[in-house]
Amino acid sequence: MIRLDQVSLSYEKGPEVLKDVNLHLPEGSFHFLTGPSGAGKTSLLKLIFLAHRASAGRVHLMGQDVAALSRRQLAKARRQIGVVFQDFRLIDHLSIYDNVTLPLRVAGQKEASYQQNVIELLDWVGLGGHIHALPETLSGGEKQRAAIARAVITRPKIIIADEPTGNVDPEMGIRLIRLLDELNKMGTTILLATHDQTLWSQFAHPRLHLEDGHIRHIANTPEPHPEAPIAVADEVVT
Ligand SMILES: Nc1ncnc2c1ncn2[C@@H]1O[C@H](COP(=O)(O)OP(=O)(O)OP(=O)(O)O)[C@@H](O)[C@H]1O
Ligand SMILES: [Mg+2]
């Protein structure tokens, strides 16, 4: 689903942020991306959600070399990727419903074709009572659930999340990961960058650790959590 072959990245005259990174994330996988501040996590995610180009090497998404895509094909590929940011990036003057449906309106879909789905999705993420609210009236966790709903409304094959729990309390952080877990169980490939060890250590998903420009694959053995018995990780992706 996501493959990086010998990918390097540097900004202008700066040092290499990514050095010869090789990565293969199969369809339906869920990986955490960890590493110290400045290690290049956001930079790596940007390569994958097509906001940046590698300085060297190849990025393949859904079997396609992204460097070979036309502008139109790139736009189509982008629609297969849902992105969730730490700071939510909701549009202040639009209601939650209008924020979540924006990608559909941009794609020219008629409201009658999606209205019911959106209401069900907002119910599913626990925002059924806030459909017409403005973002400023929601808590951090609620805003992030709205942002996740917006990221998944187009049914992307891949969700990229950059510190999605950075602005919510630890308990909400766990709930947000569980929500992403549910989407992963339905087949969505997920890559989630986080600093937060107390978060990733509670889930069985393998971890990609980025440091000094290199990636290490680490199987993750979750610490027991009272509410969620989780199977021990049994794969290390190479
Ligand atoms: N647009 C840019 N122009 C120049 N340098 C950049 C740019 N974006 C990031 N960098 C540099 O690249 C390096 C990696 O940054 P990046 O934001 O990818 O790290 P990160 O692992 O996401 O850090 P954090 O955990 O703090 O979010 C840093 O040294 C940063 O200063
Ligand atoms: Mg970052």
- DSSP letters, 32-56, are EEE--TTSSHHHHHHHHTTSS--SE
Q: At what angle do helices 140-152 and 111-124 cross, to 10 degrees?
A: 140
- State which of 21, 32, 37, 42 you would mutate to test the pocket of ligand 1, scoring each by most atoms of that ligand within 8 A of its C-beta: 42
Residue 7 and residue 32: Cα distance in Å, rounded? 19
Query: Is the CB of 206 inside a 6 Å radius of any atom of ligand 1?
Result: no
Distance CA 158, CA 8 (A): 22
The interaxial angle of helices 96-106 and 111-124, nearest 10 deg, is 140
What is the sign of the dihedral through the CA atoms of 196, 83, 77 and 52? Answer: negative
CB under 8 Å to 142, separation ≥6 — which residues?
A: 126, 127, 130
33 phi and psi, to 5 degrees?
A: -115, 115
Q: Ligand 2 centroid vs 48 CA: distance in angstroms?
A: 14
Name the pTM for this structure. 0.91
Distance 232 CA to ligand 2 centre (A): 28
What is the whole-number distance in angstroms between the Cα of residue 32 and the centre of ligand 2?
A: 13
Task: Report the alpha-carbon distance of residue 144 to residue 232 in Å, rounded.
Answer: 28
Task: Tell me how many degrees the CA angle 204-209-212 measures, rounded to the nearest 5.
Answer: 175
Q: Look at ligand 1, atom 17, and give the residue with the nearest C-alpha.
A: 42
pLDDT tens-digit profile, the chain (238 residues): 999 999 999 999 889 999 999 999 999 999 999 999 999 999 999 999 999 999 999 999 999 999 999 999 999 999 999 999 999 999 999 999 999 999 999 989 999 999 999 999 999 999 999 999 999 999 999 999 999 999 999 999 999 999 999 998 899 999 999 999 999 999 999 999 998 999 999 999 999 999 999 999 998 877 755 554 444 444 444 4
Q: Whose CA is nearest to atom 25 of ligand 1?
A: 37
